[in-house]
Amino acid sequence: MGWLAILIPLVVFVVLGFVATLLFGWLIPALGGDLHSWYAALLKAAFILLGFVMPLAGVLTWMERRQSAMMQDRLGPNRANVGPVRAFGLMHFVADALKMLFKEDFVPANANKLLFALGPVMAIAPVLITFAVVPWGSGVCAGHLTDRLTDGQLAQCLDTGGGRFQVVHLEIGLLFYFAIASLAVYGATLAGWASYNKWSLLGGLRASSQMMSYEVTMGLAILGAFLVYGSLEPATIVQAQGDSILHWGVVTQPLGFVLFFTAAIAETKRTPFDIPEGESEVIGYFVEYSGMRFGMFYLAEFMEVIFTSAIVATVFFGGWQIPGLHADGFVAGQMPHWLVCTLQFVAWAVKVFVLCWFQLMIRWTMPRFRPDQLMRLGWKQLLPASLANILITAGVVLALMPGAK
């Protein structure tokens, strides 16, 4: 039975990868569409968000409960069914969504109506936007799906054809990510303030102090990777990790990986960094929210988990790269283009999935930090460590750089 937990996601990812390859490599060009156009970008966004992120976020809400149950020797929710189809209770997230949609949407009497409504939107929108820069595959060369392309041909085709598996190819990609992701703090703070409730206000303040503190570490921790790969563009960073597993960020930047991952988990506001929410004791910033507005906070949290996984996979685990897999297979001329494309998407999806699983693992293992411990960890331990990481990395890069004496 347990093997299904590996097999089913794998099959789904293969199907998704194949669909993406067909959609952007054949269907859109065949219909006369232009892959450089705005509607192609929109389609890519729709594909990755509606096809991968949203369903996975939904499944994660169920997976979190099942997984935590397994870790604690329980069974977890395994009952929700459609007729006789029970599927291990997988339908629980659908039931959850329905429940939230039909619950009363309560607005406290003295709340600021506009900001109260804006809170969940501000929490969820930045996460959705940041997915624009994540590359989920090298991309397709339209019209050459059955050909055996070399690395060079593919690179040229991607530069001109616009078939990249990435919504926007931004030179400042990761900076864009930091810029947008830091907006998420407004969601929490606004929600806390607009609720007209002292406890939610305090929760919002805790959220903003925590998120701002850890953003610093997060930005500095990833600087090491910038130095190593010489680019801010996620697709380029992934490209640079292709040759072997030794080029992966986790090998070249082990400290950077630990620091970034820690800070990113803190950004998602989940245990052990869940002081802003404190589900059971300290009451969080969304205490006044109910129904689907609460559901949006909830969903945003899980999408942040996915996004954290996606960025960590991109920068530290080679993104869509499978070590040794070139544009024409493991040996020259072995695989057609569509197969490689699909495999790369599957590699990316598997990495994201495993990292999500790992984050859930951490979330259900660690106890919560105290606020003072949290601040001490952020400012006195992670920050100096990330600064040291930059210095060392810069020194090594300088020493190894051709032309440096």
Partner 1 sequence: MAIGVKVVARPRDLGQQAYVPALVKGLGVTMRHFFDNLFGGGKHIVTIQYPEERAVYPKRYRGLHRLMVREDGSVRCVACMCCPTVCPAHCITILAEQTGNPNEKRPRVFEIDELRCVVCGLCVEACPCDAIRMDTGIWSSPVALRGDAVQGKADLMKRGALSTAVQGGAGGDWRDKQR
Contacting positions for partner 1 (CB under 8 A): 1-3, 5, 67, 69-75, 258, 361-362, 364-366, 377
Q: Please, which residue, 62 or 320, has the CB nearer to partner 1?
A: 62
Q: Please, which residue, 57 or 265, has the CB nearer to partner 1?
A: 265
Q: Please, which residue, 61 or 67, has the CB nearer to partner 1?
A: 67
Give the other-Cβ count within 10 Å of 321's Cβ.
25
Q: Please, which residue, 1 or 399, has the CB nearer to partner 1?
A: 1
Q: Please, which residue, 42 or 71, has the CB nearer to partner 1?
A: 71
Shortest distance in whole angstroms from residue 68 CB to partner 1: 9
Greatest distance between any 2 Cα atoms in the chain:
72
Shortest distance in whole angstroms from residue 365 CB to partner 1: 5
Shortest distance in whole angstroms from residue 7 CB to partner 1: 12
Shortest distance in whole angstroms from residue 10 CB to partner 1: 15
Shortest distance in whole angstroms from residue 72 CB to partner 1: 7
Shortest distance in whole angstroms from residue 361 CB to partner 1: 6
Shortest distance in whole angstroms from residue 70 CB to partner 1: 4
Q: Is 112 exposed, middle or buried (0-12, 13-18, 19+ CB in 10 A)?
A: middle
Shortest distance in whole angstroms from residue 337 CB to partner 1: 36
Shortest distance in whole angstroms from residue 247 CB to partner 1: 25
**CA atoms of 26 and 38, how far apart (whole Å):** 18
Place of tokens 């192609």: 40
Tokens linked to 146: 């059955």
Q: Residue 156 half-sphere exposure, CB side, CA atoms within 13 Å? A: 6
Q: Please, which residue, 323 or 371, has the CB nearer to partner 1?
A: 371
Q: Please, which residue, 91 or 170, has the CB nearer to partner 1?
A: 91
Please state, in angstroms and as integers, the Cα–Cα distance from residue 313 to each residue in 101, 141, 224, 332, following that order.
Answer: 33, 24, 16, 26
83: CB partners within 8 A, 6+ apart:
none
Shortest distance in whole angstroms from residue 364 CB to partner 1: 7
Q: Please, which residue, 195 or 309, has the CB nearer to partner 1?
A: 309
Q: Please, which residue, 361 or 391, has the CB nearer to partner 1?
A: 361
Q: Please, which residue, 166 or 359, has the CB nearer to partner 1?
A: 359
